[in-house]
Structure 1
């Protein structure tokens, strides 16, 4: 991994490990989306066959499974999005700020995202504990709601790690730029 400025990011083994975990989770998120597509197609085809008089029908609880899988997929994609700088940024003044200015704003943005990811993880964990305590289940399939929270929690935890790695990378780039200006 290297920063967009062309520097070694300095994250070492931890950075590579988080990158590998984020990539694996992104593939799992892609699997969730493929599952949603197949499930939706099968359910729609079943509805069509039912109206034509065949003995098939929609998949029971399809919307429950789509709801859970789409929520989980979002959390599974977040770590890789953070590591690959895939979040939306506004670079309106980037040309006027120079490399140091961009590096400082990147650091600030990564620090803010780290704070947000920590809050998301904290509240998701609280939600998981609540759903486990109450034993809430989905209406049709009686899927324990905490399953979706638990799977999402994995993505949220790796998202926080990815945010910490991006803060480290930004600090590393800022230090390198600071050393270059002193030399």
Structure 2
């Protein structure tokens, strides 16, 4: 329901300077890398499908690679969505509230996401170490599972940093300051 808020009433979600600017550039490039990974796995899938249908030779383990690549690529978009404050919101119930009241609710939401992102980072890091220690591998290609899981950790770290940034920005607005 983002259309309920005019563009001029929305705080600028992409900072240009300082640590917030650096973080925004990092999450943008991280998201672009995830997009390129999606393009690569789509290309691999097309080659595998064509190979299967025309030459009876698909790419061995294409579904494993697709699953791992999609998980890693999807995670790269989370920090960018949070940094630009583009996660789905149900604003229909809060349109009657003042901007400061909505900012207070946003502060709570961003703080909860920060907690979840920190927990995801911690638990994913632990699973990475456990998968490496136990030498877990994928079924067909025998790819060590800790490789793709390790690639999720930076996305969760960036998500936590972006949530912290949005929490500070929302708190500033809730307390009556400028975004």
Question: Normalising by structure 1, what TM-score?
Answer: 0.86
Q: Indicate the structure (1 or 2) with the bigger Cα radius of gyration.
A: 1
Match of 1:118 in 2: 118
- What SS is found at the alignment partner of 1:156? helix
**Maintained 8 Å contact 1:11/1:165:** no
Query: Corresponding residue for 1:34?
Result: 39
Query: Where do 1:6-155 residues align within 5 Å?
Result: 6=11, 13-51=18-56, 57-155=57-155
Q: Which moved more, 1:127-136 or 1:9-18?
A: 9-18
* CA RMSD across the alignment: 2.2
How many residue pairs were aligned?
171
Task: Rate the CA distance shift 1:157–1:135 in 2: closer, same or farther, 3 A.
Answer: same
Tell me the TM-score normalized by structure 2.
0.88
Cα distance change on mapping 1:108 and 1:17 into 2, 3 Å = same
2-structure distance, mates of 1:105, 1:112: 11
Listed as ranges, the gaps of 5+ residues in structure 1 are 52-56
Match of 1:54 in 2: none
Greater relative contact order structure (CA < 8 Å, 6+ sep): 1
Deviation at residue 86 of structure 1 after TM alignment: 1.8
Matched position secondary structure for 2:92: coil
Residues 88 and 94 of structure 1: is their aligned pair in 2 closer, same or farther, counting only changes over 3 Å?
same
Question: What is the distance in 2 between the residues matched to 1:91 and 1:139?
Answer: 45
Consecutive unaligned residues in structure 2, runs of 5 or more:
1-7
Counterparts in 2 of 1:4 and 1:46: CA distance versus 1, 3 Å: farther
Q: Deviation digits for residues 63-99 of structure 1, max 9, x if unmatched?
A: 1110110010121111001011221111122221111
> CA, structure 1 residues 9+82, in 2 after alignment: closer, same or farther (shift >3 Å)?
closer
Question: CA 1:166–1:6 in structure 2 vs 1: closer, same or farther (change >3 Å)?
Answer: closer
Contact 1:118 1:160 in 2 (8 A): yes
Per-residue Cα deviation, 1:10-61 (whole angstroms, up to 9, x for no partner)? 995111111111001101110111011101100000011135xxxxx10001
